[in-house]
């Protein structure tokens, strides 16, 4: 089997870095028991499938394997788990605690229960030798860079149901308490990992296609959107559809339309559920859903707010941000993350590509809906998200919870300082290894940062999940006292758009 890693980042610049497709033969449906040991003489890991060993030896040096064999095996497992996913299993960044457990069990079983049972490899949680703690020098020359789209097995239907239930629950509690205390209790319970949500039969389960279309017609705005929306420039294409700018002739405002070809959607009921859920999610720091239309029965138009400044990635790669501007972006993203966490939802794909900007300096988080896959979409064969923003516990599967978003925010802050996340030039497997082995990454410009910013980063990039701050704690951090006005982002956006040759289409449309 050969895999094509063509899909990577939405930013053009990053695509350029990672364009080379990787052709690696990997085992699928491996269910045998493997007993991993380390050869005392050669230092090599033994007992893994041959192709895995080849992959490991090609990308992670023997010395590195020796320094942290557990991180090497864990990175390999996570990597192979991620790429074995089928295109019919949609990846969605949003995930709940229950699904994390399901995903961890699947990763653990990828080679069978005996993996990592080797006597030379310490189990997680055991004291590591000083050698293991030693930081690893960045790496051997990367092999072929390849695309990697993160994630684990996510039963999207269950997710949407869970999200809906979390939402119902949160709203109920808030009403009962008459304030937000209910939300807090809700959150605390979830941190402890105990299941907190009622199981309900959802009306959308096991519907026929006809029933789904009937329900869709009921949920969607009636009529032909082409009469109301004047569609123009294409902004880009994602996994589930293509995004266009359009002019709303009723409100006289520009909006974004995501055009989803339903005939290519393997599980239409998920889209249905998503519309229901997305309608409930409204926050000033989320890219909000406005409406949905059914076009000719096989296309769904999802109308969203238009963020005409493009992704934060353009700004971080092209311009140098001041600390006050970085603080302002962090504050806005934290407000969105706090909102989601308050509802028991983890975004798990926080990165500059998923933060969209308005020309006025609005900062909004996106990519929490409509991430379903298209049947036969080659680029989705790999699924599985970008590893560079992943918290160590995503790889190690230790104490995986909502704080993964806080780590990712810290990595995004590094993007705002350095222009890119750590290890971006490494292959995904190597990046996973380095994240698991090194923990907190080095920040080259560290000495130039203010004490408040350093402390903020310290709070985000704690490997120990318990020591890592929550979104609400960070919203009170002194670093955010020095936020600059959001409008100061406008010149940065304009400068980035000019360099990248973007923006003119948005500016000139119906001016």
Q: Does 243 bind Mg ion (CB under 5 A)?
A: no
- Rank residues 356 and 465 by Cβ distance to Mg ion and give the closer one: 356
Task: Look up residue 248 and give its two tokens.
Answer: 């709303």
CA distance 466 to 363: 28
Helices (H), 343-450: 392-396, 404-418, 428-438
Q: How far apart are CA 409 and CA 510, in angstroms?
A: 36
C-beta of 357 vs 432, nearer to ligand ATP: 357
Q: Which does 236 bind (CB under 5 to 8 A by kind): ligand ATP, Mg ion, none?
A: ligand ATP
Which of residues 10 and 317 has its CB atom nearest to ligand ATP in the complex? 10
Within 8 A by CB and 6+ apart from 444, the residues are 418
As a whole number of angstroms, the distance between CA 409 and CA 419 comes to 14
Identify what 306 binds: ligand ATP, Mg ion, none; CB under 5 to 8 Å per kind.
ligand ATP
Q: Could you say which residues in the range 352-381 bind Mg ion, by CB under 5 A?
A: 367
**Shortest distance (Å) from residue 367 CB to Mg ion:** 4
Tell which positions 219-238 bind Mg ion, by CB under 5 A.
238
User: Minimum distance from CB of 357 to ligand ATP (Å)?
Assistant: 9
In the bound complex, which residue of the shown chain has the CB atom lying closest to ligand ATP?
238
Q: Minimal CB distance to Mg ion: which residue?
A: 367
Q: How far is the CB of 160 from Mg ion (least distance, A)?
A: 17
The answer to whether residue 49 forms part of the interface with Mg ion (CB under 5 A) is no
| Residue 385 contact partner, candidates Mg ion, ligand ATP, none, CB within 5 to 8 A by sort of partner | none
* Close Cβ partners of 370 (under 8 Å, ≥ 6 residues apart): 240, 241, 258, 260, 271, 274, 278, 302
- For 103-216, list the strands marked E by DSSP: none
Task: Please choose which of ligand ATP, Mg ion, none residue 307 contacts, taking the beta carbon within 5 to 8 angstroms, the exact cut-off set by kind.
Answer: ligand ATP
Question: Binding of Mg ion at residue 426 (CB under 5 A)?
Answer: no
Minimum CB separation of residue 7 from ligand ATP in Å reads 8
SS3 per residue for 208-274: CHHHHHHHHHHHCECCCHHHHEEEEEEEEECCCEEEEEEEECCCCEEEEEEEEEHHHCCCHHHHHHH
Q: Which two structure tokens, joined as six digits, stand for 254?
A: 């520009």
Identity of the residue, 468 or 502, whose beta carbon is nearer to ligand ATP in the bound complex: 502
Q: How far is CA 412 from CA 42, 240, 350, 421, in A?
A: 39, 25, 8, 7
The number of residues making up the chain comes to: 511
Binding site for ligand ATP (CB under 6 A): 10, 235-239, 241, 243, 256, 258, 287, 304-307, 311, 356, 366-367, 371
For strands 241-248 and 229-237, give the pairing. antiparallel
Residue closer to Mg ion (CB basis): 238 or 266: 238
Please give the Cα distance from 462 to 407 (Å, whole number): 8
Please list, residue by residue across 409-434, b when 16 or more beta carbons sit within 10 angstroms of its beta carbon and e when fewer do: bbbbbbbbbebbbbbbbbbbbbbbbb
Residue 304: contacted member of ligand ATP, Mg ion, none (CB under 5 to 8 Å, by partner type): ligand ATP
Give catalytic status of residue 349 as yes or no: yes
By the rule CB under 5 A, 415 interacts with Mg ion: no
- Smallest gap from residue 151 Cβ to ligand ATP (A): 10
Q: In this complex, which beta carbon is closest to ligand ATP, that of residue 52 or of residue 289?
A: 289
Which of the residues 291, 349, 367, 405 is marked catalytic? Answer: 349
Which entry of Mg ion, ligand ATP, none binds 355, CB below 5 to 8 A by partner kind? none
Residue (175 or 237) nearer to ligand ATP, CB: 237
Q: Would you tell me how many other CB atoms lie within 10 Å of the CB of residue 279?
A: 14
| Residue 74 touches which of Mg ion, ligand ATP, none (Cβ within 5-8 Å per kind) | none
Q: Could you tell me the smallest distance in angstroms from the CB atom of residue 371 to ligand ATP?
A: 6
Is-contact 432 75, C-beta < 8 A? yes
Find out whether 116 and 397 touch, Cβ atoms under 8 Å.
no
Within 15-34, the residues that bind Mg ion by CB under 5 A are none
312's contact among Mg ion, ligand ATP, none, with CB below 5 to 8 A by partner kind, is none
Task: Answer yes or no whether residue 349 interacts with Mg ion by CB under 5 A.
Answer: no
| Residue with smaller CB distance to ligand ATP, 11 or 22 | 11
Query: Does 259 help bind Mg ion (rule: CB under 5 A)?
Result: no
Q: What are 130's two structure tokens?
A: 């000083």
With contact defined as beta carbons under 8 Å apart, do 88 and 380 qualify? no
406 and 471 Cβ atoms separated by less than 8 Å:
yes
In the complex, what is the shortest distance from the CB of residue 266 to ligand ATP, in angstroms, rounded to a whole number?
15
Neighbours of 232 (CB within 10 A): 17
CB of 373 to ligand ATP, least distance (A): 9
Under rule CB under 5 A, residue 242 binds Mg ion: no
Residue 420 interacts with Mg ion (CB under 5 A): yes or no: no
Footprint on this chain of Mg ion (rule: CB under 5 A): 238, 367
Q: Which residues are catalytic?
A: 349
């Amino acid at each position: 089997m050969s895999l094509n890693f063509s899909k990577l980042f939405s930013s053009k610049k990053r695509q350029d870095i990672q364009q080379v497709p990787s052709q690696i033969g990997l085992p699928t449906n491996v269910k045998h028991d493997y007993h991993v040991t380390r050869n005392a003489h050669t230092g090599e890991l033994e007992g893994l499938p041959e192709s895995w060993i080849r992959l490991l030896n090609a990308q992670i040096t023997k010395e590195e394997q020796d320094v942290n064999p557990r991180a090497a095996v864990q990175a390999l497992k996570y990597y192979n788990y991620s790429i074995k996913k089928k295109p019919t299993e949609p990846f969605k960044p949003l995930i709940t605690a229950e699904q994390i457990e399901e995903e961890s069990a699947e990763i653990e079983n990828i080679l069978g229960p005996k993996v990592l049972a080797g006597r030379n490899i310490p189990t997680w949680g055991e004291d590591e030798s000083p050698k293991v703690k030693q930081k690893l020098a960045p790496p051997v020359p990367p092999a072929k860079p390849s695309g990697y789209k993160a994630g684990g097995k996510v039963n999207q239907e269950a997710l949407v149901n869970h999200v809906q239930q979390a939402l119902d629950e949160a709203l109920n509690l808030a009403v009962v308490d008459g304030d937000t205390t209910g939300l807090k209790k809700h959150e605390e319970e979830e941190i402890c990992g105990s299941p907190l949500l009622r199981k309900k039969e959802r009306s959308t389960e096991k519907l026929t296609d006809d029933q789904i279309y009937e329900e869709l017609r009921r949920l969607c705005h009636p009529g032909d959107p082409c009469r109301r929306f004047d569609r123009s420039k294409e902004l880009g294409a994602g996994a589930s559809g293509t995004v266009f700018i359009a002019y709303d002739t009723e409100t006289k405002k520009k909006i974004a339309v995501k055009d989803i070809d339903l005939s290519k959607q393997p599980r239409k009921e998920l889209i249905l559920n998503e519309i229901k859920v997305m309608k409930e999610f409204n926050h000033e720091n989320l890219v909000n859903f406005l409406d949905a239309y059914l076009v000719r029965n096989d296309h769904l138009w999802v109308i969203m707010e238009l963020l005409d400044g493009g992704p934060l990635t353009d700004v971080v790669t092209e311009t140098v941000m001041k600390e006050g501007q970085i603080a302002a972006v962090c504050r806005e993203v934290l407000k969105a993350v706090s909102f989601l966490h308050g509802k028991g939802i983890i975004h798990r794909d926080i990165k500059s590509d998923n933060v969209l900007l308005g020309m006025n300096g609005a900062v909004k988080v996106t990519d929490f809906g409509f991430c379903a896959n298209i049947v036969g979409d080659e680029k989705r064969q790999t699924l599985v998200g970008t590893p560079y923003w992943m918290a160590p516990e995503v790889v190690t599967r230790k104490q995986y919870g909502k704080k993964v978003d806080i780590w990712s925010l810290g990595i995004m802050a590094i993007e705002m300082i350095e222009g890119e996340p750590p290890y971006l030039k490494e292959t995904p497997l190597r990046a996973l290894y380095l994240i698991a082995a090194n923990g907190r990454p080095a920040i080259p410009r560290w000495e130039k940062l203010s004490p408040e910013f350093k402390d903020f980063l310290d709070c985000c990039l704690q490997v120990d999940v318990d020591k890592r701050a929550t979104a609400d704690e960070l919203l009170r951090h002194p670093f955010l006292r020095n936020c600059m006005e959001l409008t100061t982002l406008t010149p940065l956006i304009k400068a980035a758009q000019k360099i990248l040759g973007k923006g003119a289409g948005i500016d000139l449309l119906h001016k």
